[in-house]
Structure formats: structure tokens, C-alpha cells
């Protein structure tokens, strides 16, 4: 717990958390959200095509979005670490945060597998393989789940207590 408090009370974390500048917390949060929207939006677009939406659109051109997805992922990762540092003790002890990170990690692995299974060494005329469709459906679930958990973190208590009813 001491390390987390040290990170949280560092000069940089304090500046991000307490400075009124748009370059501090609001700007970093904006970058995080914009990168997440790009990452999840493009991943969802590819996944929806792979599971069968818009079947007349050829699949191979969608591969061009992967560099943008990776760029958005790294912006999201860096901005997320900065945001995490401002409240490390609360976030890193919250099981919802751990679940979110697990879904993000699985989403990244799934994204790499989609690229390998669907786009590598295939011509444009072939149908999407069954494994590609399964991975695409998993991608939708993983990114939707990670995004939902990320949003819930801001509203639920430190242990993720949620009452039903």
C-alpha cells in the first residue's frame, strides 16, 4: 500500500489531480476517452463486418485500420496509467478495475488473433473462417465489457458494491 500512496502523492500525480488547467486531468481524460472511442469503435466495426453485417463490403481493406487501433491503444494505455496514478490506492484495490484490465488484455490478444486468422495470408474472395467469426463476437463482448467496467468504476464504491433492486 505504501508504494501506491507514494505514486498517488507524487508531484506529477498531484499536479494532474489538482491543477485547474485543461492540460491536466481534463485533457488527459479527454485523450483517454477519445483513444478508447477510436479503439473500440474501429474494433467493433471490424468485428461487426466479420460476424456478417454489411456482407457486401470486402474484408481485406479493414486491415488498414489496425495501425490506427494500435495507436489508439497505446494512447489509451499511457493516459490510463496517468489517470491511475492520481487515484492508485482506490483503483488498484477495486476488483472491478482488475476485471477491466483482464478484459482489456483479452481484447488485445483477441485483436491480434483476428488479424492473424482473418487477414494474414488470405485473398479477398474467401469467406470469413468460423474461428474469425467467433473471435469477432468475442471482441465485441470484451471491448463492451471493458468499457462498461471502466465507466462503472467512476460510480461504484471501492469494492464495486452494487445493489440490485
| Inter-residue long-range contacts of 114-120, CB under 8 Å, 24+ positions, other chains counted | 114/46, 114/47, 114/50, 114/139, 115/63, 115/66, 118/50, 118/59, 119/59, 119/60, 119/62, 119/63, 119/66
Domain assignments of the chain as residue spans, ordered by start:
2-153
For residue range 99-113, what is the model confidence (pLDDT) as tens digits?
999 999 999 999 999
pTM strictly above 0.85: yes
User: Greater confidence, 151 or 44?
Assistant: 44
For residue range 17-39, what is the model confidence (pLDDT) as tens digits?
888 888 889 999 999 999 999 99
Amino acid at each position: 500500500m505504501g508504494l501506491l500512496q507514494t505514486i498517488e502523492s507524487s508531484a506529477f500525480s498531484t499536479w494532474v489531480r489538482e491543477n485547474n488547467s485543461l492540460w491536466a486531468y481534463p485533457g488527459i481524460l479527454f485523450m483517454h476517452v477519445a483513444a478508447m472511442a477510436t479503439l473500440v469503435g474501429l474494433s467493433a466495426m471490424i468485428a461487426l463486418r466479420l460476424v456478417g453485417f454489411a456482407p457486401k463490403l470486402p474484408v481485406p481493406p479493414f486491415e488498414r485500420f489496425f495501425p490506427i487501433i494500435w495507436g489508439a491503444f497505446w494512447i489509451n494505455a499511457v493516459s490510463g496509467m496517468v489517470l491511475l496514478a492520481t487515484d492508485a490506492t482506490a483503483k488498484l484495490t477495486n476488483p472491478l478495475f482488475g476485471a477491466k484490465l483482464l478484459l482489456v488484455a483479452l481484447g488485445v490478444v483477441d485483436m491480434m488473433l483476428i488479424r492473424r486468422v482473418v487477414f494474414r495470408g488470405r485473398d479477398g474472395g474467401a469467406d470469413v473462417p468460423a474461428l474469425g467469426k467467433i473471435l469477432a463476437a468475442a471482441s465485441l463482448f470484451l471491448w463492451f465489457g471493458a468499457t462498461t467496467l471502466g465507466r462503472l468504476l467512476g460510480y461504484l464504491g471501492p469494492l464495486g458494491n452494487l445493489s440490485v433492486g
